[in-house]
Each structure stands twice: as C-alpha cells, then as structure tokens.
Amino acid sequence: MKAYIRSAAIVAPQDGSAGTPLLRQVLTYTGNRLTCAEPDYNQFIDPRAIRRMSRIIKMGTAAAMQCLQLADVQMPGAITMGTAYGCLEDTGVFMKRMVEQHEEMLTPTSFIQSTHNTISAQIALQLQCHAYNNTFVHRGFSFESALLDAKMLLEEGQKQVLTGAADEITPYSFSILQRFGLYKTDPGNNIDLYNRPGKGTMAGEGAAFFLLDSSDHPGNYAIVDGLHTFYKPAGIETIWENITQFLAANELQPGDIDLLVTGRNGDAAGDKIYAEMQEAIFPEQVAIGFKFLCGEYPTASAFALWMAARILKEQQLPAVFGVTQPASLRRVLIYNHYEQIHHSLMLLRAC
C-alpha cells in the first residue's frame, strides 16, 4: 500500500503558502527563539471557535484545515497527530491560577484545553468528523508515531488519513528549557545557525499537517515509502546500522538517495552525528538542514517532511540552502534526532 502525500500545510516560523514557491522569502530571527508567523485564522477556522482557542490550538487546527482545503477533501477517514508538550499555554494558565488563587475560584476553560488531545478533538469538532482520532505524546517520537499510525491505517483499508503535529513555545517553557541549557546564549541569526557551532540551539515551534492518501491523484506531493525510529542507540555504530538496514529494507543503496535532509540544529555535539553519518554513508549526497528555518522542537521532523514534500513536488531546491541542485530529485531521506535520544528516518519518493 502506497502512502501518497496529497497535500501538506504548516503554521511555522516560515511562510508556508501554497501559492508561492517554497521558501522564496525566508523569515529571519535574531536571538535564540523562532516563533510562528501566524496566518489570518479566519480563513481556516470558524471565527466563533477562534475566540476560545489558545495559540497552539489555532496553529494546529489552521494547518489541518488548510491541508484539507489544498487536497479539496472535506472529511478524512481518520485523524492522527503528535505533540510532545501538548497545550502548554493553557496548562500554564491553569497552573498559575491554581497557585495564585490557592485552588479557589478557578474556571474550567484552560483546564479543559490543557488536555493533550484538544487539537485533534477540535479538528474533529470543526469537521464533525466521527472517525478514528488518536494523539501521540512521545517527545521526539510524537510525530513519527502519528505518521506510523496513519500508515498502518492506510494498510488497514483507510483511504485518507489526516496526520500531523504541533508544538508551541511559551514564556514558561522557554525559560525552563533554557535553564536546561538547550539554547544558545549568544545573540545570532537563524540564517547562519550552522556557522556558529557551539553548545545549544535555537528554540522553535510549529504545526504541520498532511493528508495521506492510498491512491494516486494528480497534484500529489510525494510518496512516504518508509519510516523508522530508534531509541537511545548504544553508539555511532548502532546508528549506522539502523540507517543502512533501513535503506536495505527499502531495497536501496546510499547512492540511490538524491537529497539528504538532516536535523542539524547548531549544537556541536548533536550535529557531529549528522556530519559523521554523511561522511560514512552518504559522501556523495547533497545534504541540507531545516532547523535553521523552524528552530528546534520535538516535532520539528514534521516541518522537515513538509519541506521535503514541497521540494519533491516543485522539483526545485530553494536558493536559501546554498547548494547545487542534484541532477535528479527523486528520493529524499530525512534523518533527525532529538537530543540524541529519539532518532527517526523518513524516506520520500517523487510521484
């Protein structure tokens, strides 16, 4: 069973409009945080519902609705999504009031919306979609689990599955994650993220949704041929092994990959893995990063899938990557790891 990407949409720190070529205008950020360029939500969501929604609910719902609009599909056969942190803003609001008001005079809205499956539930509610609906919340595997679920649903006979991911940064989460040392402390620009290696990365966020379809349609973006995750690999050899076995399972050699998309994020220790992998397995391949465009967050791989699908559809590598376009753009491999714990491989093919 093939899994065609029939449409893809984002709300991200970059403009994802379907009408203009991919990344024609790149948005730049100074500091250590990239935030979403939010669209006019009225285009995608019932204005009465927008008022009650927190930012991540709007981001996720808008990306999902735009994705369906692009596919011209009214009702998906199932909805799956991933979110590592869930609805942090609502969680923070309820927590703050609980502390400051000493558990008294609390109101339910932020608690209700803090639930991790709020976004997928709101999408179902907006669509009046009674179909299968599932939400995965496993850190750097959240989106990959949702994508796996979607692929299994297609194998099981579903025709169309809406799948995606969303994560947000809030002042609380940024402040806490910064204390963990995740982000760079020097003020720099996202465009030259890879030119200033050191400790830490830039924080990011975003929502991305895809309509996976079991059949070929004119205008499909790409085919998701393979997906593999591996958790806490023992060492570099285990990583190589997972990558080469994944290629072999898809009857491919490293040389069959036209473009490599890696999760480089500017953190020297984590980026070393990509550099060594490239040297060891893909010495001839053109490689590009994506986190300089969206920042680092546990479901950033969904942004990578959106980007790779658009590259395959448009058959054009945008200038921002500063690389020579390979002679053929048929197969793309996305390799991402989050904090060196969650590793994922996604294999795409042009339609």
Partner 1 sequence: MYSSNAAVYVGGLGVVTAIGNNKAECLASLEAGKAGIAGITLLDTIHKNTLPVAEVKLSNQELERRTGLRAHTSRTALLSVLAAREALEDAGISSASEWRMGFISANSVGGMDKTENFFPGFLANANSGHLRSVVNHECGAVTEIAADALRIQHFVSTISTACSSGANSIFFGARMIRHGLLDIAVAGGTDALTKFTLNGFNTLQILDKEWCMPFDEERRGLNLGEGAGYVVLMSEKVMQSLGKQPYCKLTGWANANDAHHQTASSPEGAGSFAAMKGALDMSGLAAADISYINLHGTGTQNNDISEGTAIQRLFSAPYPLMSSTKSFTGHTLGASGGVEAVFSALSVQQNLVYPNLRLHTPIQALPFAATTEFSRAHTVHHVLSNSFGFGGNCSSLIFSKS
Beta bridge partners of 222: 5, 350
**Looking at beta carbons only, is 19 or 157 nearer to partner 1?**
157
**Looking at beta carbons only, is 319 or 341 nearer to partner 1?**
341
3-state secondary structure string, 8-40? EEEECCCCCCCCCCCCCCCCCCEECECCCCCCC
**Looking at beta carbons only, is 149 or 267 nearer to partner 1?**
149
Q: Which of 47, 51, 187, 232 binds partner 1 (CB under 8 A)?
A: 232
Give the closest residue to 224 by CA, choosing from 232, 233, 237, 214: 214
327 binds partner 1 (CB under 8 A): no
Shortest Cβ 153–partner 1 spacing (Å): 9
85's tokens? 């942190």
249 binds partner 1 (CB under 8 A): no
Beta bridge partners of 160: 213
Shortest Cβ 310–partner 1 spacing (Å): 27
DSSP label at 269? H
343's tokens? 């590793």
Burial class, 133, CB count within 10 angstroms (exposed 0-12 / middle 13-18 / buried 19+): middle
Q: Which of 138, 159, 199, 330 binds partner 1 (CB under 8 A)?
A: 138
Give the closest residue to 79 by CA, choosing from 11, 10, 153, 166: 153
Give the closest residue to 291 by CA, choosing from 235, 338, 347: 338
240 binds partner 1 (CB under 8 A): no
Binding mask 61-100 for partner 1 (x = CB under 8 A): ------------------x----xxx----x--xxx-xxx
**Looking at beta carbons only, is 19 or 51 nearer to partner 1?**
51
Cα–Cα distances in angstroms (integers) from residue 241 to residues 102, 166, 288, in the given order = 53, 30, 22
Beta bridge partners of 132: 78
Binding mask 172-211 for partner 1 (x = CB under 8 A): x--xx--xx-------------------------------
Q: Which residues lie near partner 1 (CB under 8 A)?
A: 79, 84-86, 91, 94-96, 98-100, 102-104, 106-108, 111-118, 120-122, 124-125, 127-139, 141-142, 145, 149, 152, 155-156, 172, 175-176, 179-180, 229, 231-232
